[in-house]
Chain A
Amino acid sequence: MPQTLFEKIWNSHVVHEEVGKPAILYVDCHLVHEVTSPQAFDGMRIAGRKVRRPELAVATMDHNVPTWSRSLPIKDEISLKQITTLEQNCREFGITLYGLDSPNQGIVHVIGPELGKTQPGMTIVCGDSHTSTHGAFGALAFGIGTSEVEHVLATQCLLQSRPKTFQINVEGTLPRGVTAKDLILYIIRTIGTAGATGYVVEYSGETIRALSMEQRMTVCNMSIEAGARAGMIAPDETTFAYLEGRQFVPKGKAFDDAVARWRGLPGDPGATFDRQITFDVTSLAPQVSWGTSPGMVADVTDRIIDPETLESENDRKAARRALEYMDLRPGTPVEEIRIDRVFIGSCTNSRIEDLRQAADIVKGKTVAAEVNAMVVPGSQQVKLQAEKEGLDRVFTRAGFEWRESGCSMCLGMNPDILSPGERCASTSNRNFEGRQGAGGRTHLVSPAMAAAAAIAGHFVDIRNWD
């Protein structure tokens, strides 16, 4: 029977399956970070268990690390304790750690692909919902809770019920200035934040095939914002070219053999999905979120929605509440919304191409006087590459702050937070109430849109930028 990409990976990782029970699924790669692992390691110690395959796990610290100079001490004692706890746990259980002094440190979903830990056909898990990012390589990758982190440490397996499959087909050429971020925001806006709950999404179609690996990662990254268990894209020449030469990718003949295997992963002709939808992006506009849920999104050329025009009472209530929190009025043009802060970073948009796109917009210009803008590269390797290309100077000359790598203001676990009432154009993935700081107001946009907003002091249609 013809199989989809998902089915091929799932079937080849089932260790054991009984009718009426979840499958025992083998995990090829386990990414670990400081926030969702300490209680799991504790559980291992209490039960007297060893990590079954420590060499299949890799750890870094990203969520709560400060992004100012690494030479400065971490002032927050609780954060520091969490960081030293990860160091101790990795030492005790024999797991490789890319710590704060490592040239490989960075956001876990940036360094996995960058180091070549992420490879097609793998099952990849991490105690973080944005693990869906790695699906861009044709891997089955999803976020898990801390109890499951412990389960993987102890058994190298997970108990998983088979999800349903959902094909999102995207056709048409993205207009100039419109990016993968706009594409995924538009998809979430259309299918809803629970639109893919219970499904693994496979993105396909000519638009997806034309995306670079970094853009594909942006799309898969935000699958979770549509509720999906995972997002994935079949591997192709773009994938193989990205992987070749990376640290943990096989070399020489072993690489050729791997590629030959990976070529068998894309879905077979005639393979079917539980659900399918097709988008045409030929006339897609840059997207800007206006509310407190990633499905509350508008075209940059739109006006703020009137909640009373929505169909269900629950949606009207949610929209009214969101506009009150965001301090926005129905009818206001999106382009007239003025901002206080700009954050370029996060596992969604902090890779080298994202920074290049933002730098292109910023070059030779100055950040608006009332705006405080920062760029937080996704990893030390991204930072180094950007500095080689002179992007750091483009940003700092324009008035941006240039920081060390980490999750930073995407979730504000470190000192990078919004003050109450501050409005931010952010390249991150969630606009939830208080996500970037209690009382802070987040608008999700692409790196180019965030950069343009920093210069103009308000949102602008990037398609008209000169």
Chain B
Amino acid sequence: MDPFTRHRGIVATLDRVNVDTDQIIPKQFLKRIERTGFEDCLFFDWRFRPDGSLNEDFELNAPRYRGASILLARANFGCGSSREHAPWALKDYGFRVIVAPSFADIFYNNCFKNGMLPIKLSEEQVDELFSRAKQTDGYALLVDLVEQKISDEEGLELKFEVEPFRRHSLLEGLDDIGVTLQHEDKIRAFEERRR
């Protein structure tokens, strides 16, 4: 996995609560057996009209958000299905960071497995970021996982929390399976004990 240390990017907003993984990537795209190539599937039913044309009313389609790599979202982002296709699609589209007041557990966990950083901030902090992102075209944030803070060019600086192990894994780009297999002797001992 590629390490994640610092990331600077344009912020796109998605001003809806409870965005579920069925919206992030609808089921018809889950039939594929590959792990990449999901960029055109992201938010498919919102981004495109039934005739296949771009839905100009959907905020992510706004020209100002082109090239965005940080998604600013609302509470309970990623609820519903456990499909890891959701973070895959977000990543393939170009997102590396998602900022929201809260995330669903499985989605939150799946992000870290793919070198993406989900950041939890308070409702007030997220409101503030929404208002800044809506005011300034090309609003960008610098996300620093080393220092655990995000900042903008207008002097805003916010600290965020992330579990030390998850932070370490992202910073080093560690493979979880490799980490667990270092404890092979303990797994074997556990199995012996239960025989």
Interface stretch of the complex, out of B4-12, B13-21, B89-97: B13-21
Residues of A within 8 A of B109 (CB): 144-145, 148
Residues of A within 8 A of B15 (CB): 317
Interface stretch of the complex, out of B60-68, B136-144, B150-158, B176-184: B176-184
Task: Using A78-B32, A145-B110, A411-B27 as known contacts, say yes or no to A159 and B179 having CB atoms under 8 A apart.
Answer: yes
Tell me, yes or no, whether A372 is within 8 Å of chain B by CB: no
Decide if A161 touches B177 in the complex (CB within 8 Å): no
Decide if A82 touches B33 in the complex (CB within 8 Å): yes
Chain A residues within CB distance 8 Å of chain B: 15-16, 20-22, 24, 26, 35-36, 38-39, 42, 47, 49, 52, 63-64, 76, 78-79, 81-82, 85, 127-129, 143-148, 150-151, 154-157, 159, 161, 193-194, 197-198, 224, 227, 229, 293, 314-315, 317-318, 321, 411-413, 420, 430, 432-435, 438-439
Tell me, yes or no, whether B195 is within 8 Å of chain A by CB: no
Decide if B27 touches A413 in the complex (CB within 8 Å): yes
Residues of A within 8 A of B28 (CB): 413
A410 to B158, CA, bound (A): 41
Q: Which of B23, B80, B177, B181 contacts A150 (CB 8 A)?
A: B177
Offer 22 A-B interface pairs, CB within 8 angstroms, sorted by A.
Answer: A15-B186, A24-B183, A26-B190, A81-B31, A128-B81, A129-B80, A129-B81, A145-B113, A194-B79, A197-B105, A227-B104, A293-B20, A315-B17, A318-B16, A420-B50, A430-B20, A430-B80, A430-B81, A433-B23, A433-B45, A435-B22, A438-B45
Min C-beta distance of A40 to chain B, whole Å: 9
- Complex interface residues of chain B between 16 and 54 (CB less than 8 A to chain A): 16-18, 20, 22-23, 26-28, 30-35, 45, 50
Decide if A432 touches B22 in the complex (CB within 8 Å): yes
Q: Which residue of A lies closest to B103 (CB)?
A: A197
- For chain B, the count of residues having a C-beta within 8 Å of the partner chain is 49
A29 to B130, CA, bound (A): 44
A315 to B15, CA, bound (A): 12
A85, A129, A435, A438 — which one has the most chain B CB atoms within 10 A of its CB?
A129
Decide if B27 touches A321 in the complex (CB within 8 Å): no
Min C-beta distance of B111 to chain A, whole Å: 9
Decide if A197 touches B27 in the complex (CB within 8 Å): no
Residues of B within 8 A of A229 (CB): 105
Residues of A within 8 A of B84 (CB): 36, 39, 127, 145-147
Residues of A within 8 A of B22 (CB): 411, 430, 432-435
Residues of B within 8 A of A198 (CB): 105
A155 to B190, CA, bound (A): 12
A438 to B165, CA, bound (A): 40
Decide if A194 touches B75 in the complex (CB within 8 Å): yes
A22 to B165, CA, bound (A): 7
Decide if A197 touches B16 in the complex (CB within 8 Å): no
Q: Which of B35, B76, B163 contacts A42 (CB 8 A)?
A: B35
Min C-beta distance of B129 to chain A, whole Å: 15
Tell me, yes or no, whether B102 is within 8 Å of chain A by CB: yes
Residues of B within 8 A of A194 (CB): 18, 75-76, 79, 102, 104
A435 to B23, CA, bound (A): 8
A76 to B191, CA, bound (A): 43
Decide if A148 touches B31 in the complex (CB within 8 Å): no
A129 to B190, CA, bound (A): 27
Q: Which of A157, A433, A439 contacts B187 (CB 8 A)?
A: A157
Decide if B181 touches A193 in the complex (CB within 8 Å): no
Tell me, yes or no, whether B83 is within 8 Å of chain A by CB: yes
Decide if B181 touches A155 in the complex (CB within 8 Å): yes
Min C-beta distance of B191 to chain A, whole Å: 8
Decide if B76 touches A193 in the complex (CB within 8 Å): yes
Min C-beta distance of B110 to chain A, whole Å: 4
Q: Which of B31, B45, B177 contacts A154 (CB 8 A)?
A: B177
Task: Using A24-B183, A129-B106, A144-B106 as known contacts, say yes or no to A35 and B31 having CB atoms under 8 A apart.
Answer: yes
Min C-beta distance of B42 to chain A, whole Å: 14
Decide if A227 touches B79 in the complex (CB within 8 Å): yes
A376 to B82, CA, bound (A): 23
Q: Which residue of B lies closest to A89 (CB)?
A: B33
Min C-beta distance of B61 to chain A, whole Å: 17
Residues of B within 8 A of A85 (CB): 33
A318 to B187, CA, bound (A): 47
Residues of A within 8 A of B106 (CB): 129, 143-145
Decide if B33 touches A38 in the complex (CB within 8 Å): yes
Q: Which of A24, A49, A76 contacts B186 (CB 8 A)?
A: A24
B23, B33, B164 — which one has the most chain A CB atoms within 10 A of its CB?
B33
A435 to B74, CA, bound (A): 20
A26 to B183, CA, bound (A): 12
